[in-house]
Chain A
Amino acid sequence: MEIKVVKQILAWNEDVSDKIHLVTSEKRIAIVNVMGSPGAGKTSLIKNIIDNLRGDYSIGVIEGDIAGMIDAETIDKMGIPVVQLQTDGACHIEAMAIENILGRFDLDKLDVIFVENIGNLVCPAEFNIGEDFRVSILSVPEGDDKVAKYPLMFATTDALIINKADMLPFFDFDVERVKKDTYDVNPGANIFPVSSRNGDGFPEFLDWLRNRINEKIKS
């Protein structure tokens, strides 16, 4: 006997993601999903954003890691509310975890929450976590073939940060190739070569970021 079902496979994740959107729309908070490989510079990027935007926005951070508290301690030292999420081995964050953690922030006071996802170019791209937009990071030492090899991560992102751009003279990294590969799968992507170390390229990225945050919290 055949039974017609038609049910979303990750339905629970999508449902929770939608619930998070309802909460953040009411509280006027933007959630930013920050993704990239281990060592690409996710924490450094978030620290840099905090330094530049903390005068304009009230910022919170969720640090996702498989184990440990190192990144959360770094953010805590900056005086920013941070919650460490330990996935205990899991390769990605699911919406349920974010929903549980939101209650630990004072949502009436926050404008934007940055979620540092697990360092991994594959699995995190598959799961919406209630974010308003995605920022993916690819760093120069990782190589310019990563967009072609891990297309979903770059096809679903709103901004691609090419980090450690100050390293370009030392690597055979073709920025144009990365741009082309990204536009092939994601024609609307915004691509920003930056250096978290010396701040190059940051003003352009921060302008874009401010606009996206404002779209959510001032609409």
Chain B
Amino acid sequence: MHELAITEGIMQAAIPEAEKAGAKRILEIRLKIGELSGVFPEYIQEYFSIVSKGTIAEDAKLIINRIPISISCRSCGYNGVIERKKIRCPDCGGTDFKIVSGREYYVDSLEVE
């Protein structure tokens, strides 16, 4: 159910930007969603199709770019991707690291006409 709030958030991020650019219609909305976020991309398109009816975003296609989780390990210096199911440094097994990517949750760009 919270996907509905997220879908509304996508509209609030996209429509004003498209209007600012003088667009008549939004064809595509490109999202970046990190693997650490709990959003289920498969549901968002369906909700979006309902919520966007009658707006300039009606029929827009959502393109979701999932971003893997990557870390920078303070113990061994490892820089790179880790698995979502095991939040550990894959080299040293340590847990003292900075999460470099994976928390993204934003509208990146639009294709408009």
Contacts and interface: CB of A to CB of B under 8 A. Distances in A.
Interface string B11-31: 011100110010100000001
A92 B9 contact: no
B6 A10 contact: yes
**Range class of the B interface residue count:** 20 to 34
Given A94-B5, A125-B38, A6 B12 contact: no
B87 A1 contact: no
Nearest to A188: B95
Per DSSP, are chain A's interface residues mostly helix, strand or loop, or mixed?
mixed
A209 to B, nearest CB: 23
A92 B2 contact: yes
B105 interface: yes
A166 interface: no
A8 B105 contact: yes
A73 to B, nearest CB: 26
Interface residues of A, number: 30
Contact of B18 (A3, A8, A9, A122): A3
A198 B38 CA distance: 35
Contact of B13 (A5, A13, A125): A5
A4 B113 CA distance: 14
Contacts of B1: 90-92, 123
Contacts of B87: 155, 184-187
A93 to B, nearest CB: 11
A13 B105 CA distance: 13
Interface of B: 1-2, 5-6, 9-10, 12-14, 17-18, 21, 23, 31, 36-39, 84-88, 95, 105-113
Given A9-B6, A125-B38, 4 more contacts: A6-B109, A8-B13, A9-B31, A91-B2
Interface of A: 1-13, 90-92, 94, 122-123, 125-127, 151-152, 155, 184-188
9 contacts: A5-B14, A5-B107, A7-B106, A8-B105, A8-B106, A9-B6, A10-B105, A12-B12, A185-B84
